[in-house]
Chains A and B, each alone.
Chain A
Amino acid sequence: MKTWTTGFARSAAVVAVFSPVCAVWAGAAGLVWWWFANPWTWIAVAVIAFPVLVAVSRPVARWARALIAGWTGEAMPDARREPPPVVRMSTGFWWNGYGYHDSERDALMDRRMRMRWSDPATWRDLLFAVVAPLTVGLVAAVPPAGVVVAAVAFALGAPVVGAVALVVAVLSAPFAWRAVPPVAVPLLRPSPAAALAERVEELTAQRADATVAQAAEIRRIERDLHDGAQARLVALGISLATVEKLMATDPGRAMEVLREARKGAATSLSELRELVRGVNPPVLSERGLVDAVRALALERPLEVVVRAADIARPETPVESALYFGVAELLTNAAKHGRADKVVITIERTGKDVVVTVSDDGRGGAEVRPGGGLDGLRRRLAVFDGVLEITGPSSARMAVPCGS
């Protein structure tokens, strides 16, 4: 029943999306029929219908993209070109990237026309608006049409026709809409050049993000060394100098200072160890992601269950990004979500290594700009990985990697 209703709704949605195109065709046909005088009429009608069709194709394609993205999850950018800016030159004329104009309005209008004709996206949308309704559009129209025909037939007293139409509608409903995506997607998808341009933009942004993140990381390490190990060594030296001075005058006090100095040396060693672990945990390089996450889980004051499939080790940087991702999410679960129990799964899905972290806390995880999760998202993005907040208190990291 559910597949039938969804199928019927989707077919109806396709019909609705394509209806403006059908209206244009119907209008043109009506014009021809009403105006029919000689074969030249066809040309006149085509001249009128063509710009209308171009105008209609854009929203139709946009709606179709939204529909298909909703069904299959395949997001298709419309990849329109950025219009060149309109600027006023020192001569007083307006330059719109193509030519000079007397007023800003003229320049904007001219730019809009030129952009429309020169942008491959326009022709792609037009092709879609011409081809799709006449092919898959007709297929998808079968269930709604069947219902309409049945209703009319029953009303006019032709129950056999009505019954047949109803049966056709019912039987075709779960399948009719499925014809749409395979045909529509190749038509709607941006050209390879446009997709490449988009990708370049994305990579540029990622590179900038990565540089910023890396600089912050280096600064943190420098700060930790300066305030930590380096300062402790200096303090140790000063203590020893003090002892040297006190040895003759006040041996008891000298002993006390020495004892503290020894403790200080031990602390600085453990601080250095912490720092090294923060940069690259030894267990991660020795045993890989799964064991490193298990080791991480052991240290947390939470009940952490690690479910891991036996996966091949990803590349070292990917491993490191995922490891620190888990650490960040665990910290979040304890700090913000006030969780007691956390479940971590590590598995391989297709080409992706997928790590999910979910807890029993009150949740509230969100990716805020500049926040910890935002930093994690950026770190994963460098490897084309994604961070998804899949529920109030669960997150999923997926990073594609090799084989």
Chain B
Amino acid sequence: MRILIAEDLYLLRDGLCRLLEAYGHEIVATATTGPETLAALLEHRPEVSVVDVRMPPAQSDEGLRAALAARKEVPGLPVLILSQHVERLYAGELLADGGRGVGYFLKESVFDADQFVDALERVAAGGTAMDPAVITRLLSTGDGPRRLAGLTGREHEVLALMAEGLSNQAIGRRLFLSESAIGKYTTSMFGKLGLTDDEEGNRRVLAVLRYLNG
């Protein structure tokens, strides 16, 4: 894949480049500030990009804003946001424009390189990839728990994996259940949450997260 990396700290930028090159991917460009990121995203149109939330000049959420701006220009431009901490607000903003080809990962989740590269590929293919830690946090904070109170333990598990962006088949593999069993869980779950199931993984995640974000 042709990948763009936007990260202001040299150590991390360098580490990410080496890691992804070790997996046989090509780094087409790197960026170190918010404006640079936006320009590079629009110029190179990478198959997928890894963007740090916090970057110069203001050291606030420059990276996220650059990614959102680029996606406004080029709808569906695949972006995976990296962050040092889970921020509910950021996940919501990312998903707000349709949720195709977006991901939100914690930096330490990069350590599980296989999972990380997997997620990158999913995002590049137009899917959604959420860090498991992000999902756990989203499910356990705010009024999420109250709304999800009616779900059984198993349904909760399925919902969390679904939110990570996994398909029913993949969820079944993780939970050692058949795909059709997962299908049943999702149907009953959507029933309890008052959502209609339209069989498209991406939109299911969106629906769940939108529901959680109120």
Interface residues of A (CB under 8 A from B): 223, 226-227, 230-232, 234-235, 237-242, 244-246, 249-250, 257, 264
Of A223, A244, A245, A264, the contact of B11 (CB 8 Å cutoff): A264
Contact A238 B110 (CB under 8 A): yes
Contact A241 B54 (CB under 8 A): no
Which 9 interchain pairs have the tightest Cβ spacing? A238-B15, A241-B113, A235-B11, A237-B111, A234-B107, A242-B19, A245-B22, A235-B15, A231-B9
Contact B110 A245 (CB under 8 A): no
> Beyond A242-B18, A245-B22, is A234–B113 a contact (Cβ under 8 Å)?
no
Residue of B nearest to A245 (CB): B22
Query: Could you give, for residues 10-28 of chain B, a 1 whenever the CB lies within 8 Å of some chain A CB and a 0 otherwise?
Result: 0110111011001100000
Contact B9 A227 (CB under 8 A): yes
- Tell me the B169-202 residues at the A interface (CB within 8 Å): none
Query: Could you give, for residues 78-115 of chain B, a 1 whenever the CB lies within 8 Å of some chain A CB and a 0 otherwise?
Result: 00000010000000000000000000000110111100
Say if the beta carbon of B141 comes within 8 Å of chain A.
no
Contacts of B136 in A (CB 8 A): none
Contact B23 A245 (CB under 8 A): yes
Residue of B nearest to A240 (CB): B111
Contacts of B140 in A (CB 8 A): none
A227-B9, A242-B15, A242-B113 known; 16 new pairs, CB 8 Å cut-off, are A226-B84, A230-B84, A231-B12, A234-B110, A235-B14, A235-B15, A237-B108, A237-B111, A238-B12, A240-B111, A242-B19, A244-B113, A246-B22, A249-B22, A250-B22, A257-B18
Say if the beta carbon of B152 comes within 8 Å of chain A.
no
Residue of A nearest to B109 (CB): A237
Contact B9 A245 (CB under 8 A): no
Contacts of A244 in B (CB 8 A): 113
Contacts of A232 in B (CB 8 A): 11
How far does the Cβ of B182 sit from chain A's closest Cβ, in whole Å? 30
How far does the Cβ of A126 sit from chain B's closest Cβ, in whole Å? 59
CA distance A250 to B84 in the complex (A): 30
Of A223, A226, A227, A245, the contact of B113 (CB 8 Å cutoff): A245
How far does the Cβ of A270 sit from chain B's closest Cβ, in whole Å? 15
Of A234, A239, A245, the contact of B108 (CB 8 Å cutoff): A234
CA distance A226 to B84 in the complex (A): 8
> Beyond A223-B59, A242-B22, is A237–B110 a contact (Cβ under 8 Å)?
yes
CA distance A223 to B56 in the complex (A): 12
Q: Is the interface of A mostly helix, strand, loop or mixed?
A: helix
Query: Could you give, for residues 56-78 of chain B, a 1 whenever the CB lies within 8 Å of some chain A CB and a 0 otherwise?
Result: 00010000000000000000000
> Beyond A223-B59, A235-B15, A246-B22, is A241–B9 a contact (Cβ under 8 Å)?
no
Residue of A nearest to B16 (CB): A238
How far does the Cβ of B51 sit from chain A's closest Cβ, in whole Å? 15
Contacts of B113 in A (CB 8 A): 241-242, 244-245
Contact A239 B15 (CB under 8 A): yes
Contacts of A249 in B (CB 8 A): 22
Contacts of A257 in B (CB 8 A): 18
Of B12, B19, B59, B84, the contact of A245 (CB 8 Å cutoff): B19
Query: Could you give, for residues 152-164 of chain B, a 1 whenever the CB lies within 8 Å of some chain A CB and a 0 otherwise?
Result: 0000000000000
CA distance A264 to B14 in the complex (A): 13
Contact A241 B19 (CB under 8 A): yes
Residue of A nearest to B8 (CB): A227
Contacts of B108 in A (CB 8 A): 234, 237
Contacts of B59 in A (CB 8 A): 223
* A–B Cβ pairs within 8 angstroms, 22 of them: A223-B59, A227-B9, A231-B12, A234-B84, A234-B108, A234-B110, A235-B12, A237-B111, A238-B16, A238-B19, A241-B19, A241-B110, A241-B112, A241-B116, A242-B15, A244-B113, A245-B19, A245-B113, A246-B22, A249-B22, A257-B18, A264-B11
Contacts of B22 in A (CB 8 A): 242, 245-246, 249-250
Contacts of B14 in A (CB 8 A): 235
CA distance A251 to B39 in the complex (A): 37
Contacts of A230 in B (CB 8 A): 84
Contacts of B11 in A (CB 8 A): 231-232, 235, 264
CA distance A250 to B59 in the complex (A): 37
How far does the Cβ of B73 sit from chain A's closest Cβ, in whole Å? 29
Contacts of A237 in B (CB 8 A): 108, 110-111
CA distance A234 to B12 in the complex (A): 7
CA distance A193 to B84 in the complex (A): 54
Most buried by A among B11, B16, B54, B84: B11
Residue of A nearest to B21 (CB): A242
Most buried by A among B19, B108, B110: B19
Contacts of B9 in A (CB 8 A): 227, 231, 235
How far does the Cβ of B39 sit from chain A's closest Cβ, in whole Å? 23
Contacts of B19 in A (CB 8 A): 238, 241-242, 245
Residue of A nearest to B11 (CB): A235
CA distance A239 to B22 in the complex (A): 11
CA distance A245 to B112 in the complex (A): 11
How far does the Cβ of B27 sit from chain A's closest Cβ, in whole Å? 13
